[in-house]
């Protein structure tokens, strides 16, 4: 059958061609596989991992803040919030309504949840409300079995057990603002908070810790399948302060009656800040939970500046509390000796100007010791005139005035000690001799912070360049610090220092001293000190001629500030306290009448507790709960 054979031959030939074609196509498949699985393997592996692996940041727990005895000032509390998982609810609307019968859910919350439910995968938990109270939680917990898809989740919130008592020192945390963002993804976590003021801010790097990571595998819909790797991260370090919370609390209560006041209590030897009070204060929890515009408005417009730490950022003319500095400048410069007699007729004439003493009839002739004791203005006008502003300024700087002391919380202000150069540079006019006289009684351009005034006293009584600080290395060991910090010795004759300190002793303990009424009667606890009453506005010639107005007739904002700086015990000073009562407080009195009694009470209490040397029994350290403020305390409403 040649025809059949011919057909078979043709078929075989074409079958061979077909096989060849198929072989080519098969080779193309092999080539493609090689390209994808060998040549481009790395690229596709990467894409595959990117597909399935999400890296989540784990926020490290923030370090806690303790006082010198281990009292917790800032802690991490639990913030309970109620969440719904839409896919488990069946009917989200009905679930929200049911939840609304248990706790208050605003329309805004409801709209937000419903909107999020539309945009997110249905297995993503949505927060309905945060910061649940125990009561609200209990109500939800009981109902959870009937509320499918509802759960209570736990987040972290910064807690300040003492609330406003140490708010300025400890500070507060808040969500990072736009300018805080450094590109660190940790800052972008929704619940993350950073320090915004006080220790929380200055020690933020230490307290923050480092983020951990959790690598999780997700499927194509974003649902978490499993955790692949977990790196816990580094919790923030705890910070111990030199503060004694019991003293801070005591001072706060003692100051509570005054409308606006600042008080500093230092360990004069170590420089530890034992209490740093600025009243009125604010509730730091308001910031960590998120501030409402109304509360912010109220806090920021209050004339008493609750948000400002007046102990370090309030600047006031130091008034007569500045006189020890002037005295030492004069003694060291040889402008006067302890025995130089100066006569006070009640005023001093310089050219055409008349400078008055606070005592209308004058003090008569007196020496330095009595001039300090009785705070004679004319004596110090004359002493300042003889010493010159530049030597006064130099001495003031050695005592910590005119520059920030470098306290380890932000916000400290430098105050001002005027000099000839400063005057020329800022006003373009030359220094007038009369300005030296005014500076001699701590008025005029001279301004200082309460912390600077307290530091001055600490340097006076220790003759060392004490620098105040809040952060300690560790808690106080029993018996006090074995090796207190060594501050440089001031290059001032011991004899001169002793003379000034003796004068300050007499201010309080001499029958004729200005603050004799505020003395500590127990000789073992006796304090020395210096009062000051600084003018807020000039006394007019009219007032001099027609008599001063009564205090209660002057508007509060125009009244004089009352200051007192004190140290105790007088025999071997360890504690220093400086108090400034803005505008003389409720009574409108001077430094010795209003501020001195506060210093007295604080120094009695601090010597009784002796926090520089004694570790109290645990029971005596108030641990739990914010202390109740006295009813008349100038509290800032924390709710709306």
Q: Provide the minimum distance between the beta carbon of 5 and other proteins in the complex, in angstroms, as a whole number.
A: 10
Residue whose structure tokens are 């991490």: 76
Q: Provide the minimum distance between the beta carbon of 241 and other proteins in the complex, in angstroms, as a whole number.
A: 50
638 binds other proteins (CB under 8 A): no
Q: Provide the minimum distance between the beta carbon of 121 and other proteins in the complex, in angstroms, as a whole number.
A: 13
Q: 437 vs 158, 334, 353, 355, 432, CA distance in Å?
A: 51, 17, 11, 8, 9
Beta bridge partner(s), residue 359: none
The one among 20, 28, 406, 432 contacting other proteins by CB under 8 A: 28
Q: Provide the minimum distance between the beta carbon of 54 and other proteins in the complex, in angstroms, as a whole number.
A: 12
Q: Which CB atom, from 214 or from 340, has the smaller least distance to other proteins?
A: 214
111 binds other proteins (CB under 8 A): no
CA distance 587 to 547: 20
Helices (H), 260-322: 285-289, 293-301, 310-313
In the region spanning residues 215 to 274, those forming contacts with other proteins, defined by CB under 8 A, are: 217-221, 225
Q: Which CB atom, from 19 or from 571, has the smaller least distance to other proteins?
A: 19
Output DSSP code: residue 63. P
Q: Which CB atom, from 53 or from 517, has the smaller least distance to other proteins?
A: 53
Active-site residue, selected from the candidate residues 278, 279, 288, 320: 320
Indicate if 320 belongs to the active site.
yes
Q: Which CB atom, from 47 or from 181, has the smaller least distance to other proteins?
A: 47
- Strands annotated E in 110-211: 126-129, 150-159, 173-174, 194-195
Question: Residues for the chain: how many in total?
Answer: 640
Of 77, 235, 234, the residue nearest 155 (C-alpha): 77
Query: Are 267 and 454 within 8 A, CB to CB?
Result: no
120 binds other proteins (CB under 8 A): no
The one among 36, 138, 148, 571 contacting other proteins by CB under 8 A: 36
43 binds other proteins (CB under 8 A): yes
Dihedrals φ, ψ of 232, to 5°?
A: -70, -25
In the region spanning residues 453 to 472, those forming contacts with other proteins, defined by CB under 8 A, are: none
**Maximum alpha-carbon separation in the chain:** 157
Of the ranges 31-39, 123-131, 419-427, 475-483, which one interacts with other proteins (CB under 8 A)?
31-39
24 binds other proteins (CB under 8 A): no
Helix (H) or strand (E) holding 25: helix 2-34
Q: Provide the minimum distance between the beta carbon of 29 and other proteins in the complex, in angstroms, as a whole number.
A: 5
What x-and-dash track marks residues 175-214 binding other proteins by CB under 8 A? Answer: ----------------------------------------
CA distance 235 to 222: 29
Query: Are 251 and 92 within 8 A, CB to CB?
Result: no
Q: Which CB atom, from 218 or from 403, has the smaller least distance to other proteins?
A: 218
Size of the site for other proteins (CB under 8 A): 41
Render 495-539 in DSSP notation, one character per residue. HHHHHHHHHHHHHHHSTTSTTGGG--SSGGG--EEEEEEE-SSPP
CA distance 130 to 114: 17
In the region spanning residues 46 to 75, those forming contacts with other proteins, defined by CB under 8 A, are: 47-49, 51-52
Active site residues: 320
The site for other proteins (CB under 8 A) is made up of 3-4, 6-8, 10-12, 14-15, 17-19, 22, 25-26, 28-30, 32-34, 36-38, 40-41, 43-45, 47-49, 51-52, 217-221, 225
């Amino acid at each position: 059958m040649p025809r059949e054979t011919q057909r078979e031959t043709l078929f075989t030939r074409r079958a061979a061609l077909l096989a060849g074609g198929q072989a080519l196509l098969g080779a193309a498949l092999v080539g493609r596989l090689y390209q994808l699985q060998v040549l481009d393997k790395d690229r596709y592996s990467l894409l595959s991992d990117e597909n399935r692996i999400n890296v989540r940041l784990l926020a490290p727990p923030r370090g806690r803040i303790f006082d010198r005895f281990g009292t917790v000032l800032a802690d991490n509390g639990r913030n309970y919030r109620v969440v719904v998982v839409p896919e488990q609810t069946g009917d989200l609307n009905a679930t929200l309504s049911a939840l609304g019968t248990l706790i208050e859910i605003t329309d805004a919350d409801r709209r937000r949840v419903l909107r999020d439910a539309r945009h997110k995968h249905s297995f993503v938990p949505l927060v309905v409300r945060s910061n649940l109270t125990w009561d609200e939680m209990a109500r939800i917990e009981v109902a959870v079995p009937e509320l499918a898809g509802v759960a209570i989740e736990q987040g972290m919130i910064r807690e300040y057990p003492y609330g406003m008592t140490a708010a300025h020192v400890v500070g507060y945390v808040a969500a990072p603002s736009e300018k805080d963002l450094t590109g660190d993804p940790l800052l972008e976590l929704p619940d993350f908070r950073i320090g915004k003021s006080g220790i929380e801010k200055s020690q933020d790097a230490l307290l923050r810790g480092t983020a951990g990571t959790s690598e999780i595998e997700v499927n194509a819909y974003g649902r978490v399948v499993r955790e692949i790797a977990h790196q816990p991260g580094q919790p923030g370090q705890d910070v111990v302060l030199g503060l004694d919370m019991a003293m801070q609390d005591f001072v706060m209560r003692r100051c509570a009656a005054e409308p606006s006041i600042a008080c500093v209590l230092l360990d004069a030897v170590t420089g530890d800040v034992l209490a740093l009070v600025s009243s009125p204060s604010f509730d730091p929890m308001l910031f960590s939970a998120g501030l409402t515009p109304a509360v912010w408005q109220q806090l920021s417009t209050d004339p008493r500046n609750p948000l400002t730490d007046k102990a370090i950022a309030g600047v006031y003319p130091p008034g007569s509390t500045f006189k020890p500095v002037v005295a030492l400048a004069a003694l060291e410069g040889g402008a006067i000796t302890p025995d130089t007699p100066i006569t006070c007729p009640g005023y001093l004439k310089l050219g055409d100007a008349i400078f008055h003493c606070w005592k209308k009839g004058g003090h008569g002739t007196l020496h330095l010791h009595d001039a300090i004791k009785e705070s004679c203005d004319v004596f110090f006008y004359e002493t300042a005139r003889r010493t010159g502003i530049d030597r006064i300024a130099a001495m003031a700087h050695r005592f910590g005035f005119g520059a920030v002391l470098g306290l380890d919380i932000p916000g400290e202000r430098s105050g001002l000690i005027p000099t000839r150069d400063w005057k020329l540079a800022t006003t373009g006019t030359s220094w007038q001799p009369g300005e030296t006289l005014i500076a001699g009684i701590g008025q005029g351009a001279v301004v200082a912070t309460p912390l600077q005034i307290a530091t001055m006293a600490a340097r006076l009584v220790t003759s060392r360049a004490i620098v105040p600080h809040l952060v300690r290395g560790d808690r106080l060991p029993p018996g006090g610090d074995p090796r207190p910090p060594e501050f440089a010795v001031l290059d001032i004759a011991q004899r001169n220092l002793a003379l000034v300190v003796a004068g300050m002793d007499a201010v309080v303990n001499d029958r004729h001293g200005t603050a004799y009424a505020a003395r500590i009667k127990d000789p073992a606890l006796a304090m020395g000190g210096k009062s000051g009453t600084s003018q807020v506005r000039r006394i007019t010639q009219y007032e001099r001629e027609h008599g001063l107005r009564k205090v209660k007739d002057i508007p509060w904002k125009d009244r004089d500030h009352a200051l007192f700086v004190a140290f105790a015990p007088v025999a071997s000073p360890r504690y220093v306290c400086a108090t400034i009562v803005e505008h003389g407080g409720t009574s409108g009195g001077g430094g010795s009448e209003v501020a001195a009694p506060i210093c007295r009470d604080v120094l009695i209490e601090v010597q009784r507790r002796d926090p520089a040397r004694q570790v109290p029994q645990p029971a005596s350290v108030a641990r739990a709960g914010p202390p109740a403020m006295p009813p008349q305390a100038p509290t800032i409403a924390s709710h709306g």
